[in-house]
């Protein structure tokens, strides 16, 4: 197994998880668990691939996806915040709707996937950045990823900056940590929550385009394969810290890379390796929850 | 007292009806996109599914596993537990029954059928125990764990079906067919099998558990206020395990019954798309987590499934429209359109003498 190949794949798989993680963070900070990350990502990939399929225009696909992502964020906010819905159910509905509309459209088109390989091939979506390329040994790991993968990694720092060094970030954190205080100083909590969720929809749409258009170049309703939920686990693991959550997202990306590269080596039980990423997430989440549980039960009565 | 009950029933009914209206309204747009007449399509859907003998018995057949998965989700949601692993638990139940039903196919039916049903129940319980124990012991988020387990389970079963238990004589990936003594066969020359009556029987048990048992009361208490329930001395951890046991057992039984009454072999689309477990979520929501509501909702959704085949035959609308309507339904069901039963109370107040009204309280 080629270590450099694994590292390259780690960054490759981490991209979409990062988008979803960073997207879900804002909502998490205002105490809204956005279960719909997965569906928002799938919708993004769907509309992106669909527009590129018909027009061959990457930018059109990307902006269509982003607009739909924002619209879904708006929808989720309207239901979850204005209408006070059970937002876990709302999120789930968005996930199921994304799959259902995908299959319905495919059936109408009479296809099994929306294949954009032909359109994407001559778009040169993979970037070769000379500075990264010239890094000794690791040059091949960092270089040659698609545009949005780089954007995903850049977003880590952008989100960290926004969260801790801007007014909006302060508002988001205050609105989540102590809504009464926020309201007392005149922050419109509803608006902040809306914004937090809409940012999530935006980033998830990028995740969808990243996978459906840039990486696989073919949309099917299965492309997301739990990425949104893995992202939620990453957020839980790090209690919503952008840097740490991203660390977990990259770790989960590494597990996917390992599963894929081990499969090439092992062959026979290759199918079974697909469970590695999911099991890792469950194990990591459990370990962290157990630790946190021990700490919070310091008085000891929970141990009797 | 009686008036109050009627009130809640009416309230639930309207709260289910409004989302159904919206879901079908938007579903109609999707049908227009396909170039068909929505009203005609919906007419075909329900006319075939409910008002023909063939359609109606098929509807009840489809409703059978849905009653069970609906109850499985309903009991956990009612307690505020998000068991999102019902789909995986059902798959494991179905798979285990497929393997055992083939291996022990020479056992007589009277032994094999109960054995398989119990095996399905136990597999469902064991699968549900993983998120349940993590939640009860260490407060690990059960929603994320049970959800991600579905993906892991699908991959494991796919591997086992493709490599270990595959029937090589079939052109597609599938286990061997279960023996004829393991099959719950059709009755009265219709699509109904004993599985439907098993599901009805389980529904009765669950009705008693929900409404007339201590556990039912405790489930409602935990769902309403977990800390309070713990403070007054309820062993919440134990209750979480109990609730998840019920939930897993119902899901496992659903998988076992579906295998023995409909599929007869484990294939990669055993549970359909979206799976029976996900359908269960819609049904639990539509039925407002109450057993009778879940029964009605399961038959309603069985009708959608049964009618979807008629749609595919008689119109050019893809039968995937049903999944679209289903997810729209869940979306609209996440909102409570009528808050409490105040609207109805006000309405019914007019027809009630004032004193009677006070007595209720």
CATH number for the domain including A296? 1.10.3470
Say how far apart CA A75 and CA B135 lie, in whole Å.
31
**Most A CBs within 10 Å, among B151, B162, B237, B328, to test the A interface:** B151
3-state secondary structure of B220: helix
A137-146, B4-13, B23-32: which has the highest mean pLDDT? B23-32
B1 — contact with chain A (CB < 8 Å)?
Answer: no
> Number of structural domains, chain A?
1
* Per-residue pLDDT at B349 exceeds 70: no
Chain A interface residues facing chain B, Cβ-Cβ under 8 Å?
Answer: 35, 79, 83-90, 92-94, 96-97, 99-101, 103-104, 106-108, 225-226, 229-230, 232-233, 236, 268-269, 271-272, 274-275, 278-279, 281-282, 285-286, 289-290, 293
Q: Where are the domains of chain B?
A: 1-36+316-361, 62-310
pLDDT confidence of residue B1: 52
pLDDT confidence of residue B308: 86
B308 — contact with chain A (CB < 8 Å)?
Answer: no
Cβ atoms of residues B89 and B124 within 8 Å: yes
Say how far apart CA A75 and CA A96 lie, in whole Å.
15
* Per-residue pLDDT at B350 exceeds 70: no
* Per-residue pLDDT at A302 exceeds 60: no
Residues in B touching A293 (Cβ below 8 Å): 138-139
Closest CA to A19 of A201, A223, A244: A201
- Kindly indicate whether the ipTM for this predicted assembly is greater than 0.95, answering yes or no: no
Q: Residue B340: pLDDT band by 50, 70, 90 thresholds? A: low
Q: Residue A247: pLDDT band by 50, 70, 90 thresholds? A: very high
Separation in Å, CA of A104 to nearest CA in chain B = 5
Which run of H or of E encompasses A304?
Answer: none
Question: Is A230 in contact with B148 (Cβ distance < 8 A)?
Answer: yes
Does A269 or A259 have the greater pLDDT score?
Answer: A259
Let me know if A168 is exposed, middle or buried by CB neighbors in 10 A (0-12, 13-18, 19+): middle
pLDDT confidence of residue A98: 93
3-state secondary structure A116-132: CHHHHHCCCCECCCHHH
pLDDT confidence of residue B353: 46
- Regarding beta strands A218-219 and A114-115, do their DSSP bridges make them parallel or antiparallel, or are they unpaired? antiparallel
3-state secondary structure of B68: helix
Question: Is B320 in contact with A104 (Cβ distance < 8 A)?
Answer: yes
Residue B335 has its nearest CB partner, among A83, A232, A236, at A83
Backbone angles phi, psi at B290, to 5 degrees: -105, 145
Write out pLDDT tens, residues B256-271: 999 999 988 999 889 8
3-state secondary structure of B37: coil
State which residues form the domain around A165: 3-303
pTM of the model: 0.86
Q: Residue B343: pLDDT band by 50, 70, 90 thresholds? A: very low
- Please state which of the ranges A145-154, A286-295, B200-209 shows the lowest mean pLDDT: A286-295
* Per-residue pLDDT at B183 exceeds 70: yes
Separation in Å, CA of A5 to nearest CA in chain B = 24
* Per-residue pLDDT at B94 exceeds 90: yes
pLDDT confidence of residue B341: 46
* Per-residue pLDDT at B89 exceeds 50: yes
pLDDT confidence of residue A268: 64
pLDDT confidence of residue B339: 60
Section A138-142 average pLDDT: 78
- According to the CATH classification, is domain B62-310 in 1.10.3470? yes
Closest CA to B290 of B4, B9, B1: B9
Question: Is A92 in contact with B281 (Cβ distance < 8 A)?
Answer: yes
Question: Is B148 in contact with A226 (Cβ distance < 8 A)?
Answer: yes
Does B106 or B336 have the greater pLDDT score?
Answer: B106
In percent, how much of chain B has pLDDT > 70? Answer: 93
Residues in A touching B274 (Cβ below 8 Å): 96, 99-100
């Amino acid at each position: 197994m080629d270590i450099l190949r694994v590292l390259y794949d780690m960054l490759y798989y981490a991209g979409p998880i990062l988008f979803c993680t960073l997207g879900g963070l804002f909502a998490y900070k205002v105490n809204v668990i956005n279960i719909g990350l997965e569906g928002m990502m799938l919708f993004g990939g769907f509309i992106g691939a669909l527009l590129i399929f018909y027009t061959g225009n990457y930018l059109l696909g990307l902006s269509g996806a982003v607009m739909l992502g924002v619209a879904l964020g708006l929808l989720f906010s309207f239901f979850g915040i204005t209408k006070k819905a059970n937002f876990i159910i709302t999120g789930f509905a968005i996930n199921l709707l994304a799959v259902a509309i995908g299959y319905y459209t495919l059936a109408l088109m009479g296809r099994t996937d929306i294949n954009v390989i032909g359109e994407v091939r001559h778009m040169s979506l993979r970037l070769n950045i000379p500075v990264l390329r010239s890094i000794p040994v690791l040059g091949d790991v960092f270089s040659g990823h698609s545009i949005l993968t780089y954007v995903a990694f850049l977003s880590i720092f952008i989100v960290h900056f926004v969260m801790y060094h801007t007014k909006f970030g302060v508002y988001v954190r205050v609105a989540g940590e102590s809504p009464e205080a926020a309201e007392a100083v005149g922050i419109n909590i509803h608006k902040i929550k809306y914004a937090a969720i809409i940012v999530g929809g935006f980033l998830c749409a990028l995740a969808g385009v990243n996978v459906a258009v840039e990486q696989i170049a073919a949309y099917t309703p299965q492309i997301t394969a739990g990425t949104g939920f893995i992202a939620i686990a990453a957020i839980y693991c790090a209690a919503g810290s952008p840097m740490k959550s991203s660390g977990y997202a990259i770790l989960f990306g590494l597990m996917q890379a390992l599963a894929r590269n081990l499969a090439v080596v092992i062959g026979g039980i290759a199918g079974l390796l697909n469970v590695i990423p999911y099991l890792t997430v469950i194990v990591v989440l459990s370990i962290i929850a157990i630790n946190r549980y021990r700490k919070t039960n310091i008085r000891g009565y929970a141990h009797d | 007292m009686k008036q109050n009950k009627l009130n809640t029933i009416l309230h639930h009914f309207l709260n289910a009806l409004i989302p159904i209206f919206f879901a079908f309204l938007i579903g109609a747009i999707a049908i227009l996109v396909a170039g068909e007449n929505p009203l005609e399509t919906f007419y075909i859907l329900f006319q075939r599914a409910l008002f023909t003998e063939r359609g109606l018995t098929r509807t009840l057949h489809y409703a059978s596993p849905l009653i069970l998965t609906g109850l499985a989700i309903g009991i956990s949601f009612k307690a505020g537990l998000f068991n999102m692993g019902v789909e995986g638990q059902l798959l494991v139940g179905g798979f285990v029954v497929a393997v055992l039903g083939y291996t022990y196919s020479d056992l007589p039916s009277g032994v094999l059928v109960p054995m398989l049903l119990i095996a399905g129940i136990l597999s469902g319980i064991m699968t549900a125990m993983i998120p349940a124990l993590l939640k009860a012991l260490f407060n690990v988020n059960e929603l994320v764990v049970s959800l991600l387990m579905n993906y892991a389970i699908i991959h494991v079963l796919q591997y086992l079906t493709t490599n270990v238990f595959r029937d090589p004589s079939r052109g597609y990936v599938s286990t061997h067919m279960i023996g004829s003594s393991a099959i719950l066969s059709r009755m009265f020359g219709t699509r109904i099998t004993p599985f439907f009556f098993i599901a009805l029987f389980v529904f009765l048990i669950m009705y008693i558990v929900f409404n007339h048992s201590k556990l039912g009361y405790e489930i409602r208490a935990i769902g309403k206020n977990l800390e309070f329930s713990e403070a007054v001395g309820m062993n919440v951890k134990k209750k979480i395990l109990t609730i998840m046991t019920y939930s897993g057992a119902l899901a496992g039984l659903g998988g076992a019954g579906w295998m023995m009454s409909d599929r007869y072999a484990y294939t990669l689309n055993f549970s359909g798309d979206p799976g029976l477990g996900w359908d269960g979520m819609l049904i639990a929501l539509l039925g407002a987590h109450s057993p009778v509501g879940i029964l009605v909702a399961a038959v309603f959704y069985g009708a959608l499934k049964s009618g979807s085949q008629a749609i595919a035959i008689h119109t050019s609308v893809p039968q995937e429209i049903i999944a679209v309507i289903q997810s729209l339904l869940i979306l609209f069901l996440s909102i409570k359109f009528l808050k409490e039963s105040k609207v109805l109370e006000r309405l019914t107040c007019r027809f009630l003498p004032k004193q009677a009204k006070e007595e209720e309280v």
